[in-house]
Structure 1
Amino acid sequence: MAPPPAVAIAPGVFRIPTVGSAATNSFALLDDDGSVTLVDTGVRSAPPKIVAGLAALGKHPSDVQRIVLTHAHPDHAGGAADMAARTGAPVAVHEGDAGFAEAGTSPPNDTSTATGRLFARLPGGGFPPVPVGERLTDGQVLDVAGGLRVVATPGHSPGHVSLLHEPSRTLITGDAIFNVLGVRYSPRMLCSDFRLCRRTAHVLGELEYERAGFTHGPEIVDGARESVRRFLAKAVTRHTPE
């Protein structure tokens, strides 16, 4: 059975699956004036699914006024150039990843382990370059659906951000934390700096929210903060080989 084109997380906040039912997700935030902000754009082939998700919400690409990228990896920024062309919307990304988005290249991988060094040598990692209209900073509150706060969580990439929609108490984690077979850190081999990613993920345990949308995995709509904090508390007690 095909996944639904859009899934409600909170009032005005929707997840749009772009790979499988929840393997990779984009998000749409709807404003009272009818405008839409997209968060992440999936892989290069994802835009038709995003357009279908918008249609399920009664929206058209022309309703999209801003595209926000959590980071410049091809499964999050791969469709950005296409969606920017379809919508005419500017693309916003943290200044730490802006150069990679504009070049269409992924940030370097963590090579502190043999697996990371092997993964870094694999081909691929590119995506269509996209102009960056806005460079985000930590703590910035975007004028999106009542307020979307930028939370810098670097490590997965140099400029990785999570996003807190304060009116609905909804966190969009980006790849700081996955919800794949349970809440977990991003795999080391996918990070630019895994140790930093692990440290900054703990910021998410200190924020106030009730729901969490994950760019990889299904949302948690009840007790999300407690679920994240339980994972983080357990994670610091386990030894992770460096």
Structure 2
Amino acid sequence: MAPAPVVALVPGIWRIPLVRDFVNGFILRDDDGQVTLVDMGLKPSGPKVIAALAAIGSAPSEVTRLVLTHAHPDHAGGAAHVAAATGRGFDIHASDAAYAREGSSPPRDRSFLLGRIFDLLSRGQDFTPVPVERELADGDVLPVVGGLRVVHTPGHSPGHISLLHEPTRLLITGDAIFNVRRLRWPVRAFCTDFAMTKRTAAVLGELDYDLAAFTHGPELRDHPREAIRGFLARERLA
């Protein structure tokens, strides 16, 4: 049986499983029908994002905002397709905006051999460049479904963000933390600064939320804040 095109999280917000549960995007829809899309997955996933809109009864013409948590090809790969289908540019943190415009990933962590190899092999463009409409900053509150707060969690990339929807107490971690079989860090060599990734993720344990959603892995519905705080505590002691 084919996987469902969307997974309902809270009223007005859905997860889009773009590569099963391993790579996810998100849909947020206001009461007036305006739609915000967050993260577009790999290059082949652009049409899946548009199909997910149809699954909730929305159309590309109703999309009024596009958001990228960061400029990596498994999040921005499908972005050019979605931008063309909706006629919209992207909101992305100011520190990742130039990379999105260029279609290139930020530098990898060169303290790891694999990071140095990835940087050496990089040919400059990892995904089709995308238009940037707004450059975001930490603490910005987007007028989306009652307010979507930008939480700057750099390290995975310089402008990596998590998102907190305070009205429904939903956290989207982005790639600050994965939930692939268990809570874990993103791949170290894919980060710009892995040590910073670990430091800035601490803020996710300080926020208030009742549901945690991940761009890699399924959501946590059962005491997610306690689970994330426990993970962060264990990692500090490791």
Helix, strand or coil: the match of 2:42?
Answer: coil
Alignment pair present for 1:4 and 2:4: yes
1:79 — aligned with what? 78
Q: Deviations over 1:131-181 (max 9, x none)?
A: 110000000000000000000000000000000011110001110000012
Counterparts of residues 85-234 of structure 1 (less than 5 Å): 85-123=84-122, 126-234=126-234
* CA RMSD, 1 decimal: 1.1
Helix, strand or coil: the match of 1:46?
Answer: helix
* Amino acid paired to 2:102: A
Measured in 1, the distance between the counterparts of 2:46 and 2:187 equals: 26
Conserved? CA contact 1:151–1:161, under 8 Å: yes
Measured in 2, the distance between the counterparts of 1:147 and 1:222 equals: 24
* Amino acid paired to 2:198: R
Conserved? CA contact 1:141–1:150, under 8 Å: yes
Measured in 2, the distance between the counterparts of 1:78 and 1:133 equals: 17
How many Å apart are 1:89 and its aligned residue? 2.1
How many Å apart are 1:70 and its aligned residue? 0.1
Measured in 1, the distance between the counterparts of 2:181 and 2:114 equals: 21
Helix, strand or coil: the match of 2:95?
Answer: helix
* Amino acid paired to 2:189: M
How many Å apart are 1:230 and its aligned residue? 0.8
Q: Deviations over 1:8-54 (max 9, x none)?
A: 111111000111x2110000001011111000011111111111111
Q: Deviations over 1:50-75 (max 9, x none)?
A: 11111111111111110000000011
Conserved? CA contact 1:65–1:90, under 8 Å: no
Q: Deviations over 1:165-214 (max 9, x none)?
A: 11110001110000012011111111000000110011100000010110
Measured in 2, the distance between the counterparts of 1:89 and 1:37 equals: 11
Q: Runs of 5+ in structure 1 lacking a partner?
A: none
How many Å apart are 1:219 and its aligned residue? 0.6
> TM-score, normalised to structure 2's length?
0.97
Matched length: 237
Q: Deviations over 1:68-94 (max 9, x none)?
A: 000000110111111111011231000
Helix, strand or coil: the match of 2:162?
Answer: strand
Alignment pair present for 1:58 and 2:72: no
* Amino acid paired to 1:186: P
Alignment pair present for 1:45 and 2:44: yes
Q: Runs of 5+ in structure 2 lacking a partner?
A: none
Measured in 1, the distance between the counterparts of 2:90 and 2:112 equals: 34
> TM-score, normalised to structure 1's length?
0.95
Counterparts of residues 7-46 of structure 1 (less than 5 Å): 7-19=7-19, 21-46=20-45
Helix, strand or coil: the match of 2:227?
Answer: helix
Measured in 2, the distance between the counterparts of 1:75 and 1:113 equals: 21
Conserved? CA contact 1:174–1:215, under 8 Å: yes
Measured in 2, the distance between the counterparts of 1:187 and 1:94 equals: 21
* Amino acid paired to 2:178: F
Structure 1 runs (4+) greater than 2 angstroms displaced: 118-125
Q: Deviations over 1:205-235 (max 9, x none)?
A: 0000010110000011221111111100111
How many Å apart are 1:123 and its aligned residue? 4.5
* Amino acid paired to 2:103: G
Helix, strand or coil: the match of 1:186?
Answer: coil
* Amino acid paired to 1:108: P
Conserved? CA contact 2:47–2:81, under 8 Å: no
